[in-house]
Amino acid sequence: MSNIGNSLKDGMQSLIKKHLQKKAIMWFLGSSVGLIILIGLLVLVMVLGVIASLGGETEPSNDDNIGSTINISPEVEKYRSAVQKEAAANGIPELTNLILALIMQESGGRYLDIMQASESLGLPPNTISNPYESIRVGVANFAATYRLAEKAKINVTETALQGYNFGSGFIGWSIKRDGGWTQKNAIEFSRIYSKGVKRPNGTWRYGDQYYVDHVMRYLQPGPGDNNNGQSPIKGGNKVIEAAIKAGSTYIGRSSYIMGGGRNQRDIAKGIFDCSSFVHYAFKQAGVSLGNLSSTTTDTIVVQGKKVSYAKAKRGDLVFFDTYKKNGHVGIYLGDGTFLNCQNSYGVSIASMSNTYWKSKFNGVVVRIVQ
């Protein structure tokens, strides 16, 4: 009987405990204090969920994080997804922007064989007549070239680029000689295979001895508000930024013709020379550099205020002794780069440290906007 009594006693205590717990829960839920605490807990759970979703892992980008800040024309940019696809297929997704820059140099998007890939198949130039086929062949060729260049002890990317232009034979040659690409050995390789023949501009006939510089300039940050407004060297002067923005719209879709750019027909077609281009850019910002029809580097260099290169600011004009004293002019962007219209490439961004421009820069810097 004692066991039965104990069992009944335990059962009654359990029922009473559950009843009291239920009443406590009902009181808690029915009271204002309990409701506030419950709502607070729900809000906390929601906030933690949002934070977790924001902080969770994401798929890494296949690009090289330069994004749209590179100086790529719309004609080439439209092939970005195709280049990304082929780059990923060939195991070099991080080189997408480098390949787009290479395309800018090879064709600017103006030819069907946009990567000039026909010759890598042993075909005559421009045999490929489909841009996407050109990308397929060209990216595969560059990927193979890049893998060879990875053996270099120095300048792997530069070695691969020059190898794409000269042919893969340059890669092994440069690695054996110097450990990889240098500007000096690129010139020497071109000299050897040019058999003493030079172009009118003084460069060796074989390939492009300055190919690396010519491609890499398209990887420099875009000026002003161009390319989604992302530029680490953007300045604060609204007039200067307006001039640079206006000029930058012609990057990759313009042509250099001596004496061009002095009428609306030329301007509409993107035809300029260096002085008419600078005149046009500043005019769009409300700054007159004199009569358009008679503008030259000689008429521009005497305007504004001369400053030393050490004190050069974004928007200043830099001059170079090319075919004559002060024969070429560009708009300084800062960080050792300038925007200009030059022979063969049209409107583009160039580096002051480029071998050619460094040799031609005469130290003349003119500030038009104070």
Question: Is 340 one of the annotated active-site residues of the chain?
Answer: yes
Q: Report how far residue 230's alpha carbon sits from residue 67's, in angstroms, rounded to the nearest whole number.
A: 10
Considering the candidates 185, 227, 328, 354, report the single residue annotated as catalytic: 328
Active-site residue flag, 274: yes
Q: Which of 274, 279, 326, 354 is catalytic?
A: 274
To the query of whether residue 341 is one of the catalytic residues in this protein, the response is no
Strands 346-351 and 361-367, how do they pair?
Answer: unpaired
Which one is catalytic: 90, 97, 340, 354?
340
Residues marked active site are found at: 274, 328, 340
